[in-house]
């Protein structure tokens, strides 16, 4: 593993975690969605199974090997390297704002400056009232997320290695 601080876990997210995240969304209302830190695609798989064919899906993954595999597995989705450029990326693809953003990024592994830049990109890319669903392995991000979102719920998923928390956040209208 070349960049352990950029990878949240050495094992892929469980189906229990992926399903818990996906179930937070009313898929009938989704026209544009992003996933940050797609990794090997355990959440991407469920996005693909639920999203309408005409919806735009943006995947962000820094690891070029994983990104290449995602492109092969999901040719209908748009794959990109850096979520810090999310707003520019969606605008170049003629999407003004996203309805929903999923994240598996290990925020607390990142320096504060990178965390702040990512949160700013998420807030500015998400439509008013849009949903941000992120999993973390601790509650350390609760304060920072509460500064930018309404935290509607935090769900605990014990059937994951390691166990995880799913933050269900809504952007202020």
pLDDT tens for 37-83 read 999 999 999 999 999 999 999 999 999 999 999 999 999 999 999 99
Would you mind telling me the total number of residues written for the chain in this entry? 173
Strand partners, 58: 34, 78
The answer to whether residue 151 scores a pLDDT higher than 60 is: yes
Q: Write the DSSP symbol of residue 172.
A: -
The span from the first CA to the last CA of the chain, in angstroms, equals: 40
The answer to whether residue 27 scores a pLDDT higher than 60 is: yes
- Scan for tokens 């937070």, then name that residue: 24
Region 18-31: mean pLDDT is 97
Q: What is the pLDDT of residue 10?
A: 63
Q: What is the pLDDT of residue 76?
A: 98
The predicted model scores a pTM of 0.94
- CATH numbers and ranges of domains, the chain: 4-171 (3.40.50.150)
Gap between the Cα atoms of 78 and 75, Å rounded: 7
Contacts of 13 (CB under 8 A, 6+ apart): 39, 42, 43, 104, 135, 160, 164
Q: Are 107 and 136 in contact (CB under 8 A)?
A: yes
The answer to whether residue 3 scores a pLDDT higher than 60 is: no
> Which ranges of the chain would DSSP assign to H, the alpha helix?
15-22, 42-50, 64-73, 86-92, 112-125, 142-146
Q: Are 118 and 136 in contact (CB under 8 A)?
A: no
Strand partners, 78: 58
Q: What is the pLDDT of residue 11?
A: 84
Gap between the Cα atoms of 7 and 104, Å rounded: 9
pLDDT tens for 92-128 read 999 999 999 999 999 999 999 999 999 999 999 999 9
Q: What is the pLDDT of residue 4?
A: 42
Tokens of 58: 């943006």
* Summary mean pLDDT of the chain: 94
């Amino acid at each position: 593993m070349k960049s352990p601080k950029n990878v949240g876990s050495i094992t892929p997210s469980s189906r229990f975690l992926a399903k818990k995240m996906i179930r937070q969304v009313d898929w009938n209302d989704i026209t544009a969605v992003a996933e940050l830190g797609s990794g090997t695609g355990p959440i991407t798989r469920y996005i693909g199974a639920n999203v309408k064919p005409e919806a735009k899906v943006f995947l962000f993954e820094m690891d070029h090997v994983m990104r290449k595999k995602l492109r092969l597995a999901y040719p209908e989705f748009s794959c990109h390297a850096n979520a810090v450029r999310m707003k520019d990326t969606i605008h170049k693809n003629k999407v003004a704002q996203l309805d929903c953003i999923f994240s598996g990024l290990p925020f607390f592994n990142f320096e504060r400056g990178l965390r702040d830049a990512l949160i700013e990109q998420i807030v500015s890319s998400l439509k008013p009232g849009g949903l941000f669903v992120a999993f973390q392995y601790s509650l350390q991000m609760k304060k920072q997320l509460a500064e930018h979102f309404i935290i509607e719920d935090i769900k605990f998923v014990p059937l994951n290695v390691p166990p995880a928390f799913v933050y269900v956040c809504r952007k202020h209208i």
